[in-house]
A and B are shown apart, each in its own frame.
Chain A
Amino acid sequence: GENVEQHPSTLSVQEGDSAVIKCTYSDSASNYFPWYKQELGKRPQLIIDIRSNVGEKKDQRIAVTLNKTAKHFSLHITETQPEDSAVYFCAASGRRWTGNQFYFGTGTSLTVIP
């Protein structure tokens, strides 16, 4: 099955700086890579996603890049704000059939210091 690794496990940045979180995956058949933000005790919220036919996607201060050859993808947050503090999870899935599961990374706890 798929194995997703995520680094770093914790990340502290000063407000206004950039944050980068990296994930690698093992299954070359995976073709969908979402990123979720989860605040303590709350639901994971989708913040951005990318499909394997795209190398980069951007939404305001958030961007995701995908390198299919190297099997890794990264989340970039620019101009960080204290409200960006949360746990971020990457995930991978392959649409081999409907309803297939997400394989999550182990999460990155991001702290933005005011």
Chain B
Amino acid sequence: AAGVIQSPRHLIKEKRETATLKCYPIPRHDTVYWYQQGPGQDPQFLISFYEKMQSDKGSIPDRFSAQQFSDYHSELNMSSLELGDSALYFCASGTGFTDTQYFGPGTRLTVL
């Protein structure tokens, strides 16, 4: 079965640079969630989209923005990167009719 796809899988950036993470949900899923997970931490919710509209917002810094496109893929844009942004970033997808969220493989972002 098709799963959530995230790209890139690994990303290394310098401080103050920008990064764009992409997420392709499971086919026919209309909801996308973004989470940030630091080492030894639980996933922290950043933001979610349903049918291309922002549906919920968590602890997403103002330096980050995200959107969902007409094909339901989503991009997380991160600017003015800081050392503390180094983490695993997971995208999860689901449908508007169920609660279940299926996680992608994650993007490991390292900020030097």
Contact = CB atoms under 8 A, between A and B. Distances in A.
Contacts, number: 64
A4 to B, nearest CB: 9
Interface residues of A, number: 25
Contacts of B105: 42-43
Q: Provide the main secondary structure of the chain B interface.
A: strand
Contact of A49 (B55, B90, B100, B106): B100
Query: Which interface class (under 10, 10 to 19, 20 to 34, 35 or more) fits B?
Result: 20 to 34
A97 B42 contact: no
Contact of A99 (B33, B41, B44, B106): B33
Interface in A9-26: none
Contacts of A51: 99
B90 A98 contact: no
Contacts of A93: 99
Contacts of A98: 31, 50, 55, 96
